[in-house]
Amino acid sequence: MEREDPIEKLERKEAEKKANGGLKAAMIAMLVIALGLAGALYYVLSTKNKLVNELNEEKADLTEQIVALQSDYENLSSEYDTINAQLDSSREEIAQLVDRVKNTEATDRAKIRQYEKELGTLRSIMRGYITQIDSLNTLNHRLAEEAASARKEAEETKQINTQLTQRVEDLTNRVTAGSIIKAHNFVMYAYNNMDKITDKANRVVRFLVNLSLAENELAAHGPVRVYVRVTDPDGNLLSDGRGTTFTFGGQTLEATASREVDYQGQEVDLGIYVNNVGAFQKGIYTVDAYTTQAQLGHGELLLR
C-alpha cells in the first residue's frame, strides 16, 4: 500500500474538519430559523385567538343589548291604535335584528358595526315613542279633567238636556281621540241695523256666533270649516238661503251658516254671521257649532 504523504494527510483532515464545522453551523442556523418560525406562528395564532375572543365578547355584548331593548319594547304599551301599530312594526324589526346578529360571525366586523347602528336607531325610535305617549297621556289627562268639569257643571245647574249630554259624550270621546279640535269662548249675539248689540226681537237683523278653536298640536293642519245650526223658539232651523249641508255622526245635516279657517294647530278666533233670516220673534234661540268631527259648543240667546 502506498503511504499517504503526511502533509496531504494533514490538509485532508483540516478540510474534513472545516466541512464538518460548516455543516454543524448550517444545522444550527436552520434550527434557529425553525424556532423563529415556530415562535412567529405561535404569536400569530395567539393574537388571532385573542382577537376572535374579543370579537365574540363584543358580539355577545351587542346581542345582550339588543335583547334588553327587545324586552323594553315588549313592556312598552299605549292606548292609541296608531302608536301600537308602530310599536308592532318596531318589535318585528328588533326581532329580525336579533336573528341576524345570532347568524352573523363575530369576525364580520362590517355587519357587526351595521347592527350597532341599527340598535342606536331603534333606541332613538323608542325614546320618541315614550315622549309621544307621555304627551298624549298628559293631553288626555287634561281633557279628562275638562270632561269631569263639564259633568259637574251640568249636575249643578240641573239643565241636563239632549244637547248638553251630547256635548259631554263628545268631550269624553275626545279623551281617547286627542287629535280632534275643540272650541271655547262660545257665544251668540244679536245685532240691529246700526251694528249694535240688542236683545229686542223687532230690531234684530242678524246674529253673530263667536268662538275660538283651541290649540291642539296633534290635530291635522289646514283648512277647517265650522258649521252653525240656529233654531228659533219654535224649534225651526234658521237658514241663510245657501242650503249648506255637512256630515256629522253618519248623518247629513243642514247648516244655518258656515265659515272656513286655516288651522295650524294654534288657537284661532272666528265669527260666523247669520244673515238673510227675515223677521225674528221673541223667545229663546239656540245655537250649536260643529266641525265634521265634533260638536264644538251649544248656546242660547233670549230675544225680548
- For the segment 51-78, what is each residue's pLDDT rounded down to a tens digit? 556 667 777 787 888 788 778 878 777 7
pLDDT at 176: 46
Q: What is the pLDDT of residue 251?
A: 95
The domain segmentation of the chain, as residue ranges, is 6-133, 181-303
The low-confidence residues of the chain, meaning pLDDT below 50, are 176
pLDDT of residue 231: 96
Q: Which CATH class is domain 181-303?
A: mainly beta
Provide the whole-model pTM.
Answer: 0.43
118 Cβ neighbours under 8 A, 6+ residues apart: 97
pLDDT at 50 (0 to 100): 58
| pLDDT one-digit tens code per residue, 16-40 | 776 666 677 777 778 778 777 767 6
285 touches 301 (CB < 8 A): yes
